[in-house]
């Protein structure tokens, strides 16, 4: 594997993030702060504890996860779509670099940017509420797995999309609603039995639940189930990406 080739793509993508720091880092942090103000302070002060945790602290893992999902998809999808749009993708494909190295550079950069945003949000949350992390190893594990998995998903989206407008459809019309309905602002135990069953078909539930468990030791589903679901999605994305590279779908057209 050529480390220099991977590093070139990785550094280029990170440099693009710093050039558009207002959009890639400042915007999601500011929007999340607004959630803390509205839901944590205004509404949270009127709500009781959930599982022995204050409401303001309870929503922190969900807000971080929601931002991580949307940023991972957006960063990775735009990162690979823009070379396709400008035609520079053919220069990359003709260079002495393997498909794995291309994937590692783009997905690694997108995941890194998302993790940076997530960590900044965690630090910013300290301004509004105190919280604890009971299982820091598993917190980092979920952070890394989620960023990597959804960066892969974003990479796939960036390849199959026909225009810039289609890049926004999945994050805005699918991921954000799933995040809101996936236990970001509440525990699914608060729902009627029927809706609890329906909610279990939402994959975001397992991400938020596992990530919240790493903070407070409380979860809507077991930690093993959460890890199993995200691992399954990760493997599925890897298989799809492998198939895309094997056939050249949307890359060599």
Residue 98 lies in a domain: yes
| Most confident stretch, 40-44, 104-108, 185-189 | 104-108
Q: Residue 57: which domain range?
A: 3-247
Residue 253 lies in a domain: no
Residue 24 lies in a domain: yes
Report the range of poorest mean pLDDT among 41-45, 124-128, 165-169: 41-45
Residue 221 lies in a domain: yes
Residue 130 lies in a domain: yes
Q: Are 170 and 187 in contact (CB under 8 A)?
A: no
Q: Is the pLDDT of residue 253 over 70?
A: no
Report the distance separating Cα 39 and Cα 100, nearest Å: 42
**Kindly report the CA angle at 119 between 29 and 113, in degrees rounded to 5?**
75
Number of domains in the chain: 1
Q: Is the pLDDT of residue 132 over 80?
A: yes
Instruction: Go through the chain and tell me how many residues it has.
Output: 253
Q: Convert the pLDDT of each residue in 116-125 to its tens digit.
A: 989 988 888 8
Arithmetic mean of pLDDT over the chain: 85
User: Predicted confidence band at 231 (pLDDT cuts at 50, 70, 90)?
Assistant: very high
Q: Are 106 and 190 in contact (CB under 8 A)?
A: no
Residue 124 lies in a domain: yes
Residue 194 lies in a domain: yes
The mean per-residue pLDDT over the stretch 35-62 comes to: 78
Is the pTM higher than 0.75? The answer reads yes
From the list 66, 61, 229, the residue with the least C-alpha distance to 135 is: 61
How many CA atoms within 13 Å lie on the side-chain side of 219?
22
Q: Is the pLDDT of residue 239 over 90?
A: yes
Residue 206: predicted pLDDT = 93
Residue 46 lies in a domain: yes
The mean per-residue pLDDT over the stretch 124-129 comes to: 83
């Amino acid at each position: 594997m050529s480390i220099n080739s991977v590093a070139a793509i990785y550094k280029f993508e990170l440099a693009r993030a710093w050039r558009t720091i207002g959009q890639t880092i400042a915007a999601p942090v500011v929007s999340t702060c607004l959630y803390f103000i509205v839901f944590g302070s205004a509404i949270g002060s009127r709500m009781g504890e959930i599982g022995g945790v204050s409401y303001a602290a309870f929503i922190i893992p969900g807000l971080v996860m929601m931002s991580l999902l949307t940023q991972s998809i957006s960063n990775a999808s735009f990162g690979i779509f823009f070379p396709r749009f400008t035609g520079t993708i053919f220069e990359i494909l003709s260079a002495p670099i393997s498909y794995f190295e291309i994937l590692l550079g783009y997905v690694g950069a997108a995941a890194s940017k998302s993790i940076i945003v997530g960590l900044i949000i965690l630090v910013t949350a300290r301004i509004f509420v105190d919280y604890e992390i009971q299982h820091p190893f598993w917190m980092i594990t979920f952070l890394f797995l989620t960023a990597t998995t959804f960066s892969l998903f974003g990479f796939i989206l960036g390849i199959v999309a026909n225009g810039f407008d289609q890049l926004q459809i999945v994050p805005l019309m699918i991921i954000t609603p799933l995040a809101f309905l996936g236990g970001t602002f509440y525990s699914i135990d608060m729902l009627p039995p029927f809706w609890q069953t329906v909610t279990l078909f939402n994959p975001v539930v397992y991400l938020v639940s596992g990530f919240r468990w790493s903070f407070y030791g409380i979860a809507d589903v077991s930690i093993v189930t959460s890890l199993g679901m995200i691992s399954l999605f990760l493997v599925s994305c890897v298989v799809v990406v492998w198939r895309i590279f094997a056939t050249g779908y949307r890359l060599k057209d």
